[in-house]
Amino acid sequence: MRPGRIVQTFTYAAWPDDVSLETLTLEDQPDGRCLLRTSSAYDNVEARDRMIASGCESGIQSGYAALDQILKEQSR
């Protein structure tokens, strides 16, 4: 896989005025795997804190865990 970067905006339906700028980077690893790094930038601290309080972090983590499992199964 070639390293790359994706930049996009994200809006959560509960707070449509809180738009974050998401940056995802893909980095080749020596063992042939790929590392995905993500970051989110908000216009203000209050918007960031609302998103954290919403529980989105656990949803994101469980989504990536499910993706890891799918990729592991496909690589067999």
**pLDDT, tens digit, 9 for 90 and up, residues 44-65:** 999 999 998 988 888 889 999 9
Please say whether the beta carbons of 8 and 22 come within 8 A: yes
How confident is the model over 13-35, as pLDDT tens digits? Answer: 888 999 999 999 999 899 988 89
Strand pairing category for 34-41 and 19-28? antiparallel
% helix / strand / coil in the chain, to the nearest 5?
35, 35, 30
Residue found under tokens 């592991």: 72
Confidence tier at 2 by pLDDT (50, 70, 90): low
CATH class of 4-74: alpha beta
Model's pTM, two decimal places? 0.74
Q: Is the pLDDT of residue 1 over 70?
A: no
